[in-house]
Amino acid sequence: MDRETTLKVIEQKMEPFGFITQSDQYGGLITEPWDYPVNENIIERIINAYNLAISEPYDDIYDPNEMWQDSSRKRGDLHSALVDRNVDAVSELLNNFWGNECGQHLVKYRMMENRDDDPELFDKYLEYKMIYDLYRSALFSEKGEINTARFDVRTPAGNPYAMVMNGDFIVPASPHYLRWADYVGGLLVNNENPSAGELGGGIGLCAYFMLRDIPNLSYTNYDLPLVLAVNQFFLMHALPDQTFRLYGEGQTANIELLPHWSIEHHFAEFDVFLNFHSLSEMRRETVNNYLGWIGTKTKEWFLHENSGDAQQGYNQTPTPYWDIPNSFKLVNVTPNMWGETTYKEYLYKKVI
């Protein structure tokens, strides 16, 4: 499709949502840089944890597949800045992750590698996707309303594109992750000291909403060190009142953000374990190794959303190829509610 036709198609798709975009509450898309101040102490902790993590030997079963290796190569500037311990360069890269290569495959709806190629098209597409998500979340909410305050991610760490409604700041895919955070909150509702583990948490949007809304939650994320740097940057800036432990640090903390392979050595158990759009993007032996550890570390629930279809593109190992541990019983399967038709959400309960 050429550019003009693409623009027309997007405009047509936007038409049914005129009642949102023309309402008094709608403030449109913010695409200007926010100039959010970086905390240098956080950057130094990220640098130390990264260098320690990449110096440790680990089993190659944990290695990412081709696509994620390529994605690491594209984050090469971040890797170099971290290894050089260049605080300014790391700060500059991470503080713009929503728009630069650090956010690649993590920030939803980046139709183009570089917004500068065609800002008008990029912004129109993004606006359409965000409006669509808000509309879907209203359809599925109890009262059929869009409660924008709940989607608000006021901390503009990483320079997000945000859509403003009722004065609230909504970032791409906020509705997806808030919905999962609410789901997890429901699973943990009678638990006074709940714990959640996640593999491949990406930026950390689900974690952000969970930690904001679920009282006393402790949380651990395991991810590839270069992606983890983005996650640490976002969560540590967005949740300044929480306590964090990064790899190699000695203190105890509410939130632990650790390299992927450390799942094997980390002494922890979780009431719920999460994985979204991640395991199906790994090699089959990697998936099944992780499933073994998830089975061991999960006390009650395993909630994930991954590709349930035949192998396609970056979804190298869809769910039919997974060896789910016998200790899990499938409780529920739900189709993806955002129009991502290859994905399904699965809830398992630990029964042994």
Interface residues with ligand SAM (CB under 6 A) are 62, 64, 68, 105-106, 199-202, 223-224, 227, 260, 276-278, 281-282, 286
Give the residue with the Cβ less far from ligand SAM, 20 or 208.
Answer: 208
Q: In the complex with ligand SAM, which residue's Cβ is closer, 20 or 126?
A: 126
In whole angstroms, the minimum distance from the beta carbon of 11 to ligand SAM comes to: 28
C-beta nearest to ligand SAM: residue = 202
CA distance 93 to 97: 6
What single string gives the DSSP state of each residue in 184-230?
HHHHTTT-SS-EEEEES-TT-HHHHHHHHHSTT-EEEEEE-HHHHHH
Residue placing its CB nearer to ligand SAM in the complex, 45 or 105: 105
Nearer to ligand SAM, 63 or 249 (CB): 63
From the centroid of its chain, how far is CA 275?
10
Distance, in Å, from the CA atom of 46 to the CA atom of 90, rounded to the nearest integer, reads: 9
Question: Which DSSP helix (H) or strand (E) runs through 163?
Answer: strand 162-165
Output 20 or 201, the one with its CB closest to ligand SAM: 201
Residue partners of 56: CB distance under 8 A and separation at least 6: 259, 261
State in angstroms the smallest separation of the CB of 311 from ligand SAM: 16
CB of 215 to ligand SAM, least distance (A): 23
Residue 252 structure tokens: 């105890």
Q: Are 256 and 220 in contact (CB under 8 A)?
A: yes
Residue 65 CB, nearest approach to ligand SAM (Å):
7
The candidate with the shortest Cα–Cα distance to 168, out of 34, 27, 37, is: 27
**Shortest separation between residue 61's beta carbon and ligand SAM, angstroms:** 9
Q: How many CB atoms lie within 10 A of CB 335?
A: 13
Cβ proximity to ligand SAM, 47 vs 282, nearer residue: 282
Alpha-carbon torsion (165, 168, 169, 173), positive or negative: negative
Record the tokens describing residue 260, joined without a space: 């992927």
The nearest distance, CB 301 to ligand SAM, in angstroms, is: 17
CB of 5 to ligand SAM, least distance (A): 29
Output 163 or 263, the one with its CB closest to ligand SAM.
Answer: 263
| CB distance 351 to 303 below 8 Å | no
Q: Given the complex with ligand SAM, which of 227 and 236 has the nearer CB atom?
A: 227
| Shortest spacing between CB 70 and ligand SAM, in angstroms | 12
**Beta strands across the sheet bearing 168-170:** 26-30, 162-165, 168-170
